[in-house]
Amino acid sequence: MLKPGDIAIVSGARTPMGRYCGKLKDFTAQELGAVAARGAIERSGIDPKEFDHVVFGNAQQTSGDALYGARHVGLRAGIPIETPALTVNRLCGSGMQAIVNAAQMIQTDEAKMVLAGGMEAMSQAPFVIRGRDGFTLAPGGKLEDSLMVALVDSYCGLAMASTAELYGEQHGITRQMQDEFALRSQQTADAAYKEGRLQEELVPVSLRNSKGEATGEMFTEDDHRRPQTTMEGLAKLRPAFGKNGTVTAGNASGIVDGGAAVVVMSVEQAQKRDLNPLGRIVNWGVAGVDPKIMGRGPVPATKLALQRAGLTLDYIDLIEVNEAFAAQYLAVEKELGLDRSKVNVNGGAIALGHPLGATGTRLVITLLYELKRRKKKYGLATACIGGGQGIAMVVESFQ
């Protein structure tokens, strides 16, 4: 039964995700976040002046002005200068954490209405020179790829792919199992596009040339997809980390750019405005795990979210699990006993891509739209988080 204090997600929108150094390479994370934000606001029918706060997640700050984060998203989306903004970073869970922060602000009467989301411009991750002190203005020192360095957890000394392999090994996940799941991701994403299911959540990005001028071309689809993928092709790919490894470019999530946004308010506020929300946030959970098997994060996070929601997996109609790596997903599936027919029915990050800070919001948006389409009730979205965490959220569709 709905209560006035329940938290509603009124609308959601995301940009298509652009492949690494592809058509979105010249857009900052804030610009992509703003495109999604404008789309979500327009779909909600809410005047931008009514928002009390802007909260956006971002994992790796890649552009020179990235530290302005959520503030620039809000301003670019037409939010008044008087409205404050907050950028949050829970790595791969940042976009979902932003929604949690929005809900908490509303629950504590800090805000009535919040614009929340996530953004990432992975293509803009710079090469850097550490230890600037002592250098002259002339170039010097060793160039470091900030993106590749960030994908290694210095605490446990393992690359993200290596943590996935370790977790997979613990649960008997083979290379063939990973490739089969990767193929499934590509095939379900292709089917979703052919049937027009994913397009509903997208807002196009107006592309521009090197001078910053609009070209007239609109970026309208996730272009990391590889619909022609075959098991034979996947089997030919070399392991990314060592000849005995199992993670490849084909069974890992794609490095992409993108933004996603939702409009969050109390059910009471939505009813006052005679709005028809996509659904409500039932509850959430965040948990820590061993950094060496960071991919296990969704297991305790999901259990906590379900416990707080007063539900079991049997009540969940659809599930979105971020496919950071096929090995990681398969181990999570095994531990939780997931019914794969309910999971990532429109493809996942292996096919669509994983724009770190935007992914959590993307999972929730995709989940709510698909629940609405199928006229189902409960959904679960969850993601593992580098460094050894997991985040999960249970939602209820109003359709």
CATH number, domain with residue 299:
3.40.47.10
| DSSP label at residue 202 | B
| pLDDT in the model for residue 134 | 63
Which phi and psi angles does 80 have, rounded to 5°? -60, 150
Number of domains in the chain: 1
CA distance 72 to 398: 32
| pLDDT in the model for residue 217 | 97
pLDDT above 70: residue 249: yes
Structural domain of 57? 7-124+253-394
Q: How much is the average pLDDT of 340-368?
A: 99
| pLDDT in the model for residue 136 | 63
Whether residue 367 is contained in a domain is answered as: yes
CA distance 354 to 23: 16
The tally of CA atoms less than 13 A away on the side-chain side of residue 175 is 17
CA distance 394 to 224: 28
| pLDDT in the model for residue 241 | 80
Q: What is the pLDDT of residues 161-216, one digit of tens each?
A: 999 999 999 999 999 999 999 999 999 999 999 999 999 999 999 999 988 899 99
Kindly report which listed range (6-20, 132-146, 183-197, 307-321) carries the lowest average pLDDT score. Answer: 132-146
| pLDDT in the model for residue 243 | 81
Q: What is the pLDDT of residues 263-291, one digit of tens each?
A: 999 999 999 999 999 999 999 999 999 99
pLDDT above 70: residue 140: no
- The catalytically annotated residue of 85, 88, 92, 349 is 92
Q: What is the pLDDT of residues 70-88, one digit of tens each?
A: 999 999 999 999 999 999 9
Whether residue 113 is contained in a domain is answered as: yes
What per-residue string of b and e applies to 222-241 under the rule 16 or more CB within 10 Å gives b?
A: bbbbbeebeeeebeebebbb
pTM above 0.95, yes or no: yes
Whether residue 145 is contained in a domain is answered as: no
pLDDT above 70: residue 396: yes
Whether residue 154 is contained in a domain is answered as: no
| pLDDT in the model for residue 242 | 77
CA distances from 132 to 68, 143, 146 (A): 23, 12, 15
- To the nearest whole percent, how much of the chain has pLDDT over 70? 97
Whether residue 239 is contained in a domain is answered as: no
Whether residue 171 is contained in a domain is answered as: no
Q: Which residue has the higher pLDDT, 328 or 211?
A: 328
| pLDDT in the model for residue 92 | 98
Q: Which two tokens stand for residue 187?
A: 């095939």
| pLDDT in the model for residue 1 | 60
CA dihedral sign, ordered 89, 95, 101, 102: positive
**3 state DSSP class of 209:** coil
- The catalytically annotated residue of 59, 384, 393, 395 is 384
The question of whether 21 is a catalytic residue gets the answer: no
Whether residue 311 is contained in a domain is answered as: yes
The question of whether 156 is a catalytic residue gets the answer: no
Whether residue 63 is contained in a domain is answered as: yes
Q: Which two tokens stand for residue 79?
A: 């939010």
pLDDT above 70: residue 137: no
